[in-house]
Amino acid sequence: MPANPFSCWVVATLHATLLASAALSQQPARHKDVLELVDQHAAHFSETSKTIWDYAELGYKEQKSSALLQRELQAAGFRVQASVADEPTAFVATYGQGEPVIAILGEFDALPGLSQTATPDRSAVLADAPGHACGHNLLGAGAALAAVALKEHMERNHVSGTLRYYGTPAEEGGHGKVYMLRAGLFRDVDVALQWHPSDVNGVTNGGALAMNSARFLFHGTAAHAAIAPERGRSALDAVMLMGNAVEFLREHIPSNSRVHYVITNGGAAPNIVPDTAELYLYARNPSSEVLKGVWDRILKIGQGAALMTETTLDVREVGGTTNLLPNDPLSKAAQRNLQEVGGFHYTAEEKHFAQELQKSLPAGAAGALDSTGLIQPLRGADPNAAAASTDVGDVSWNVPTIGFTTATFVPGVAAHTWQAAASAGMSIGQKGMIVAAKALAVTGADLFSDRQLVLDAKADFRHQMEGKTYQSVIPVGQKPPLNYRDKQ
Ligand SMILES: [Zn+2]
Ligand SMILES: [Zn+2]
């Protein structure tokens, strides 16, 4: 220990402050360089986003989309490690070496049944085929655009550190990132940056819902439903009792929980007592800890339904993601940068497209078209706000994480709709994608040049994790469900 630890602390603090102010004073030139580089590559990656939109591949089947992004990053000078974490379409692309290690997350999977042309009226490219209704074509290509521009900036300015693009498959229900975390691929990452398509421009500082999912498969005994019903034990009865019990449970769990389910197998014919039946269920809550309690009760309901009907229960394909942890120092830097980048405005043609598209929205849902030029104020996560779930949540429980949304969808359009798929396949979506790429790239540049920002992000992460332990609900040893889309 030094003779005077206080003076040592003063020197260290002063040193850190000087580093931070030096980093800030160089910020305008640094940002200008990065923004110009994004602009130079923007048209090319808009094309990339359109090609992935055309491919519209489902989770874990994104071979062409993943290969295209790998080729782009390799051509730009990244080293690509393909098929990681037992996921054929997952990859990690790396540039540079040493600390800090900054990750940019990319997704590229589509959604089933939402095939849609880039037109303002409902029209499938191919009936019942997948479509990019969550805009992950923009997400993956926009993140790659940010990574390529940031890499060129680093090379040009001799910036040290490691930049990684994570190609993360099957975000829509396949939990691709959870398996990548388990494979240790994020172990040395200092900060993870992410973005997601939306109808507003803002910073995402926490807020997604923790989610658990599973298939509850009941096994009974088949019998003729009229001649010998007493010999039968109905798996469908168990499914229906489970559904009913979940409805009663709703009253006695925190009201900001969500539980929803479908019957994926209800038997073959009314005159055969079903020997198998399956309920596929999701449960969500803003807090992973609260959700664990709710989930344990849902598992008991399943056991109770089996007991009542003399059937057996097989809980299969357990999946889950955590809520998204906030990071305050990162959120402030991200907000500053998004405001600096600014939003965008429609051309007359885009305005016409947006107005036509908005005619298909429910009354009162359409937002102001000029809101794409605005940046939302920085807000804390509201535990009562409607939200979705994402496996980025799991990353945020392991690594300081911050993200953006940008207005890639026409204002008022929600994700997972044909209107979102239409917006994601044309210039409106691409303009939003470029805003996101700029915000990601300048924030990445700040992290490489401002050591104090990385230290602050890590300190805030430790604070957020106090009293918490990351534990995925996915059983240890479970392999990625590569064929999970086949049954839907
Ligand atoms: Zn989605
Ligand atoms: Zn999504």
* Calpha distance 75→54 (Å, rounded): 22
Enumerate long-range contacts of 335-341, CB under 8 Å, 24 or more apart: 335/203, 335/375, 335/378, 337/31, 337/439, 337/442, 337/443, 337/446, 338/201, 338/202, 338/203, 338/375, 338/404, 338/435, 338/439, 339/375, 340/31, 340/442, 341/35, 341/435, 341/438, 341/439, 341/442
Residue tagged 């494979």 (tokens):
183
Q: 85 near 144, Cβ under 8 Å?
A: no
How many whole angstroms from 172 Cα to the centroid of ligand 2? 7
Q: Nearest bound ligand to CA 392?
A: 2
**For residue 175, how far is its CA from the centre of ligand 2 (angstroms)?**
12
How close is the Cα of 196 to the center of ligand 1, in Å?
9
Q: Give me ligand 2 centre to Cα 124, in Å.
A: 20
Q: Which ligand is nearest to the CA of 106?
A: 2
92 strand-pairing partners: 81, 166
Q: Say if residues 350 and 428 touch (Cβ distance below 8 Å).
A: yes
In this structure, are residues 195 and 106 in contact, taking their beta carbons and an 8 Å threshold? Answer: no
Ligand closest to the CA atom of residue 415: 1
Ligand 2 centroid–CA 11 distance in Å is 46
Strands (E), 110-255: 161-167, 191-198, 202-204, 210-219
Dihedral of the CA atoms 88, 90, 94, 97 (nearest 10)?
-100
- How far is it between the farthest Cα atoms of the chain? 93
| CA of residue 353 to ligand 2 center, whole Å | 23
Q: How far is the CA of 132 from the centre of ligand 1 (A)?
A: 9
Ligand 1 geometric centre to CA of 414 (Å)? 10
Containing 105, the helix (H) or strand (E) segment is strand 101-106
Ligand number nearest CA of 408 is 2
Distance 404 CA to ligand 1 centre (A): 15
* Ligand with an atom nearest the CA of residue 172: 1
Tokens found for residue 336: 């500053």
313 alpha carbon to ligand 2 midpoint, in Å? 32
pLDDT of residue 359: 98
Closest ligand to C-alpha of residue 195 is: 2
**Rounded mean pLDDT for each run of 10 residues along the chain, 488 residues in total:** 42 54 75 98 98 98 98 98 98 98 98 98 97 98 99 97 98 96 98 98 95 97 98 98 98 97 97 98 96 98 98 95 97 98 98 98 96 96 90 98 98 98 98 98 98 98 96 93 80
Return the pLDDT at 274: 98
- From the CA of 196, the nearest ligand is 2
Residues in the chain: 488
Q: Look at residue 231 in the predicted model and tell me its pLDDT.
A: 98
CA of 390 to the centre of ligand 1 (A): 8
The CA distances from residue 98 to 36, 162, 380, 445, in Å, are: 26, 6, 33, 15
Ligand at shortest distance from the CA of 168: 2
pLDDT the model gives residue 27:
82
Q: From ligand 1's centre to the CA of 105, what distance in Å? A: 15
CA dihedral sign, ordered 192, 198, 201, 205:
negative
pLDDT of residue 487: 60
Rounded to the nearest whole angstrom, what is the distance from the C-alpha of residue 123 to the centroid of ligand 1?
20
Other CB atoms within 10 A of residue 213 CB = 22
- Residue 72 near residue 133 (C-beta atoms within 8 A): no
CA distance 440 to 436: 6
Which pair of tokens denotes residue 481? Answer: 């469900």
Which residues have a Cβ under 8 Å from the Cβ of 218 and sit 6 or more positions away? Answer: 235, 236, 238, 239, 276, 277, 278, 305, 306, 309, 311, 312, 313, 314
Please report the pLDDT score of residue 15 as a whole number: 57
CA distance 421 to 360: 14
Distance (angstroms) between ligand 2 centre and the Cα of 107 equals 8
Whole-number Å distance, alpha carbon 389 to ligand 2 midpoint, is 9
Q: How far is the CA of 106 from the centre of ligand 1 (A)?
A: 13
Q: Find the ligand nearest to 139 CA.
A: 2
Angle at 337 between CA 30 and CA 138, to 5 degrees: 100
pLDDT value of residue 24: 67
Kindly give the residue spans of alpha helices, DSSP state H, lying in 56-135.
63-75
Ligand 2 centre to CA of 136 (Å) is: 6
User: What pLDDT, on a 0 to 100 scale, did the predictor assign at position 367?
Assistant: 96
What is the pLDDT at residue 437?
A: 99
Q: Which ligand is nearest to the CA of 198?
A: 2
* Beta-sheet pairing, 210-219 with 312-321: antiparallel
Do residues 424 and 126 touch, judged by C-beta distance below 8 A?
A: no
Rounded distance from Cα 114 to ligand 1 centre (Å): 12
Q: How far apart are CA 392 and CA 194, in angstroms?
A: 8
Cα 134 to ligand 1 centroid, rounded to whole Å: 5
